C-alpha cells in the first residue's frame, strides 16, 4: 500500500519531478547522470536525431524508457514523419511497476501522442520488429544483452529497415558491441556510445 501511495505522489507531482531531473542534469558535468538514468548524452542525442532526420523515414525507437529521446525524434522528424516508441516497461532506474512506468511515459509524451506524431507501443522488441512497417529508421536502446541485440538486429534487417542504429556501443558492460561487429563488421559512424549502420 505504501508503494502505491508513493507512485501516486510521483504521478501527481510529475511536473516537479521532471523539472528536478532537468535541473539535476544541468548541474552534473560529464555523463554520469545520463548513464545512471539509462539515457543519452547531448552529443549522442544530437547524432541520433541527425541520423534519423537524414534517413527521411519514419522512426522506431526500441526501448523508449521515459520517452525523452522519442520527443527529440518527433521534434526533428516534423509533422510528415511518425515516431513509434516501443517498450515493454520491464525496467526503469526508479523501480516503478510496469503500469506506473507506462503511465509516466505516456504523461511525458502526451502532447506528441495527442498530435499523432508519436505512437507509444507496449511490446517486446522482437515481437514489434517482426510486424514492423518496412523502411523504418530503427534505433535500438532496450535490452543490451548480446543475444537480444543480435536478434533485434536480425529481425530489423528482415523487416526491411532503412538504417539500424542504437546505444551503448563500446560499453564493456553490455553485449551491444559484439552483436553489432559480428553482424556488420563495424558501424558506419559512432558518436559517444551511439552507432549507426545505413542499409
For the whole model, what pTM was predicted?
0.83
Which residues in 40-175 belong to E strands, given as ranges? 59-62, 83-87, 118-122, 137-140, 163-166
Q: Are 104 and 96 in contact (CB under 8 A)?
A: yes
What is the per-residue pLDDT across 160-176, written as a single tens digit (0 to 9) for each? Answer: 999 999 999 999 999 99
Segment 168-194 mean pLDDT: 97
Most confident of 17-31, 32-46, 113-127: 113-127
The Cα–Cα gap between 168 and 177 comes to 8
Go through the domains of the chain in sequence order and give each one's CATH number.
40-198 (3.40.50.150)
What is the per-residue pLDDT across 88-104, written as a single tens digit (0 to 9) for each? Answer: 999 998 889 999 999 99
What is the per-residue pLDDT across 115-132, written as a single tens digit (0 to 9) for each? Answer: 999 999 999 999 999 999
pLDDT score at 4: 72
Segment 21-33 mean pLDDT: 49
Amino acid at each position: 500500500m505504501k508503494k502505491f501511495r508513493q507512485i501516486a505522489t510521483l504521478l501527481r507531482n510529475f511536473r516537479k519531478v521532471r523539472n528536478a531531473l532537468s535541473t539535476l542534469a544541468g548541474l552534473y558535468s560529464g555523463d554520469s547522470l545520463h548513464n545512471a538514468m539509462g539515457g543519452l548524452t547531448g552529443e549522442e542525442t544530437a547524432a541520433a536525431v541527425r541520423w534519423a532526420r537524414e534517413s527521411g523515414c519514419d522512426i522506431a525507437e526500441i526501448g523508449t524508457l521515459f520517452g525523452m529521446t522519442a520527443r527529440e525524434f518527433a521534434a526533428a522528424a516534423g509533422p510528415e514523419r511518425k515516431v513509434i516508441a516501443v517498450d515493454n516497461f520491464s525496467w526503469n532506474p526508479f523501480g516503478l511497476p510496469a503500469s506506473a512506468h507506462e503511465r509516466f511515459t505516456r504523461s511525458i509524451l502526451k502532447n506528441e501522442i495527442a498530435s499523432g506524431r508519436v505512437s507509444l507501443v507496449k511490446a517486446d522488441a522482437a515481437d514489434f520488429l517482426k510486424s514492423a512497417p518496412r523502411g523504418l529508421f530503427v534505433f535500438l536502446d532496450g535490452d543490451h544483452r548480446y543475444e537480444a541485440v543480435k536478434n533485434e538486429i536480425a529481425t530489423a534487417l528482415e523487416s526491411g529497415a532503412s538504417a539500424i542504429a542504437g546505444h551503448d556501443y563500446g560499453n564493456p558492460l553490455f553485449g551491444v558491441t559484439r552483436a553489432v561487429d559480428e553482424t556488420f563488421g563495424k558501424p558506419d559512424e559512432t558518436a559517444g556510445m551511439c552507432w549507426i549502420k545505413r542499409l
